[in-house]
Chains A and B, each alone.
Chain A
Amino acid sequence: MEWALALAAVLAVVAVVFVARPFLRDPAPASDRLDELAPEARRRLALAEERDRALAALKELEFDHRTGKVSDADYRAQVGPLRRRAAEVLRALERGEGTTHERITAPEERAGR
């Protein structure tokens, strides 16, 4: 009974210390703001996903063409628009190069404080 209570108390203390760890390790942080993506970074992430989709679609089309699933005529009809779409997305990403995966943290940090 007593040993059980003692073990339970140890378990509780260890749990509390572990839960409090972020505050114990960093009692006075420069910023306590949770990371979040700015709207611009979100837009770029959406573009990155679109780029991957377009490139994967091209790869898939090539493969389906080689395996005979897509006829020559269908391939010619589809490959152009897909390439144009991929190029558009890549250009859009390049225009904003350097901030593609911009990670915005605290507003204070963004302001250089």
Chain B
Amino acid sequence: MAQLGRAALLIAFGLVAYALIAGSYAAWKRRRRLALSAQNALLAAFPATLVAAVILIVALGRRDMTFVYVWQHTSHELPLGYALSAFWGGQEGSLLLWLLVLTGYAGLAVWLNRRSRELMAWVVPVFALIAGFFTFMLCFVSSPFNLQPAPVDGNGMVPSLQNPYMLAHPPLLYLGYVGLAVPFAFAMGALLSGRTDERWIVATRRWTLAAWTFLGVGQLIGAHWAYVEIGWGGYYAWDPVENAALMPWLAATAFLHSVMIQEKRGMLKVWNMVLVALAFNLSLFGTFLTRSGVIDSIHSFSKSSIGGWFLGFLVFMVVFSVALIYWRLPLLRTKTKLESLVSREATFLYNNLLLVALALTILWGVLYPILSEAVRGQTRSVSKPYYDFFLHTFGLPLLLLMGIGPLVAWRRASLRSLGKTFLIPFAVAVVTGVTLLALGFGSSWPGLLAYTFSAFVAASIVLEFVRGRKAAGSLTRLISRNRRRYGGYIVHAAVVLLAIGIAGSSAYQTVRERVLRPGQSIEAAGYTLAYRGSTTISGPNYTGFRAQLTASGHGERFNLDPGMNHYTIEGPANEASIYHDPRSLGDVFTTAQVVNARTGTIDLKVYVKPLINLIWIAGFVFVGGALIAMWPDAVEQRRLAARYAAGAVPAGL
């Protein structure tokens, strides 16, 4: 079976190598049949990769320990679902998943745009270049099909990965990371072919939105996993690998806004190319961080030999994209200028600068330990205060701009009309800020500002819907005729919920820790938690203990049972116990460790986190808004189809 997997990967490698070489030659020499042949090679790479993926999945399902990869990441006791999730739990499997998603996306994107031959002739080799790297790694550097004499059992899976969220979090991140390859390939294809009109943007608009949505949801699910599973009381630790997913998401967010300026005003062509290249290269960098073992973190479970290759490819892709943009600068320059610094496009530009600044400061935070080790021989890392400072510096103005932007007209806005449109949101923000200050929320200025700005943004969104509905006649008509705009506003509403949830759960949280014997209690933010004693438990591949707590406060009475699991093969893991308060949307989060098993003494830690559930609710709102924005608009499809009637871009994904 492994031989078939290896052969399938070799075939995929041959196909993408052909698509790269023959495709480039065909595009350069304008050979139609050769270009189609290269396109077919890229299309055929997906089923070949799928064969390899199915073989690895079957081996994982059967716990076939003759596969080194299966032995490294599973055990016979590991439940089937988690054994299958080992597909993306290790280096070789996750590279295979990257390739599978990439060839699938590439095949679909190429097929949907197959009639646009001039552009596709260069898009195919760009896709093939990326796929070529991954197939090379899988065939010659890091194969998932290495065999060995079957040992008795495998190494199992890290306990914290044995969580249902881990069945969704990594694949969603990969769908996002790899999805950014689509706008990148089309953008580079546009530069190579000299087709710097909007065709590539039209063809990839929904791909970018989909990739951005996957990346956003993937991060939220990862944050929820960290919150319920890791047991440190938080959901985002500025871990390098968490940052690795955040950076391309920020760059893609900037692109999604700035591309609207290109579509509406014909401006920022160079900037959009830079953002697409930045987003994709950051997604490659994210994979490099996750898989190269260059930075130790909770996610970097495996050290690997692929780091040098990956770094080389990353540098090559950065140079490749920068050189192409520089080469095509004359085609990308436009005559249109910004008419006013007080206009919708200007606020988008400010938003872009802040998003990119935030992404780059996070990048510096991630790179600093690596560079300090390389230069000084000592690893010096930046910590939470560094990231928090820049999150406040760039994030809070970004939040405010989210409310300002929609209220400002395109091209230019007079002070008089601004005063009129800003009156209500400004009043709401002032009343909110003053009330919160009076209630004692001034203990955290970033928290107070986040709440106040959120009120301003929420009011501006509501106002936009109310005025828009009045002008359009009905809410359905309003949204169906302006899906991108109003879908975008719903996404903004999700960000408001996120900001309130983050501010509440971090700036205004309460943390208490105490060593308790049975019968003793602890108090935190109006809750009293009484420790009754502990019990032992057992599962399919673990044993553990649970502290029995009875809690009361704020008119609620509930039980909690934090503890620890000891996995047979993998070792100990924290098991937090959380009470979700449906009225306040906050949580009481507890963890417990045994201090003295004989006397039943435990070390109990309690976190009271106000409004934290808004973060998870924001995820659903975010998906809803993104789906509305992505939903095809028949009128627009027809208009674009007419524009590109010859050699057209179908208005599909």
Q: Which residues in A have some Cβ–Cβ distance to B below 8 Å?
A: 1, 4-5, 7-8, 11-12, 14-15, 18-23, 26, 29, 31-37, 41-42, 45-46, 48-50, 52-53, 56-57, 60-61, 63-64, 66-71, 73-74, 78, 101-103
Contacts and interface: CB of A to CB of B under 8 A. Distances in A.
A20 B33 CA distance: 9
Contact of B7 (A4, A66, A73): A4
Given A34-B32, A70-B413, A74-B413, A8 B4 contact: yes
Contacts of A63: 468, 471
Contacts of A71: 414, 416-417, 420
Contacts of B647: 35, 37, 103
Given A64-B410, A67-B468, A69-B421, 7 more contacts: A22-B32, A32-B32, A34-B30, A34-B31, A37-B118, A37-B195, A46-B197
Interface string B1-43: 1011001100100110010000000110011111111001101
B40 A22 contact: yes
A74 B32 contact: no
B146 to A, nearest CB: 15
Given A61-B410, A101-B644, A22 B266 contact: no
B462 interface: no
Nearest to A2: B3
B3 A1 contact: yes
Nearest to A101: B646
Interface of A is mostly: helix
Closest 9 A/B residue pairs (Cβ) = A8-B7, A103-B646, A22-B36, A67-B467, A4-B4, A71-B417, A66-B471, A101-B646, A34-B30
Contacts of B414: 71, 73-74
A72 to B, nearest CB: 9
Contacts of A29: 32-33
Most B CB contacts (10 A, CB to CB) among A5, A45, A67 go to: A67
A74 B37 contact: no
B392 interface: no
A28 to B, nearest CB: 11
B20 to A, nearest CB: 13
Contact of B197 (A23, A45, A56, A69): A45
A35 B32 contact: yes
Given A19-B41, A61-B410, A11 B471 contact: no
A15 B11 contact: yes
Nearest to B197: A45
Contacts of B195: 37
A42 to B, nearest CB: 7
B40 A21 contact: yes
B117 A34 contact: yes
A106 to B, nearest CB: 9
B263 A53 contact: yes
A2 B413 CA distance: 74
A15 B4 CA distance: 15
Interface residues of B, number: 58
A50 B643 contact: no
B333 interface: no
B470 interface: yes
B15 A19 contact: yes
A70 B36 CA distance: 51
Nearest to B339: A78
Nearest to B45: A15
Nearest to B116: A35
B415 to A, nearest CB: 10
Nearest to A73: B414
A78 B48 CA distance: 57
B638 to A, nearest CB: 12
B244 to A, nearest CB: 34
B40 A18 contact: yes
Nearest to A71: B417
Contacts of A66: 471
A52 B197 CA distance: 13
24 contacts: A4-B4, A5-B3, A11-B48, A18-B40, A20-B37, A21-B36, A22-B40, A33-B31, A34-B26, A34-B117, A36-B30, A49-B266, A57-B410, A57-B411, A67-B467, A67-B470, A67-B471, A68-B421, A69-B408, A71-B416, A71-B417, A74-B412, A78-B411, A103-B647
B557 interface: no
Contacts of A36: 30, 118
A69 B407 contact: yes
Nearest to B469: A67
A57 B471 contact: no
B409 A74 contact: yes
Nearest to A78: B411
A48 B643 contact: yes
Interface string B551-576: 00000000000000000000000000
B62 interface: no
B160 to A, nearest CB: 36
Contacts of A33: 30-32
B8 A52 contact: no
B12 to A, nearest CB: 9
B417 A70 contact: yes
Contacts of A69: 407-409, 413, 417, 421, 467
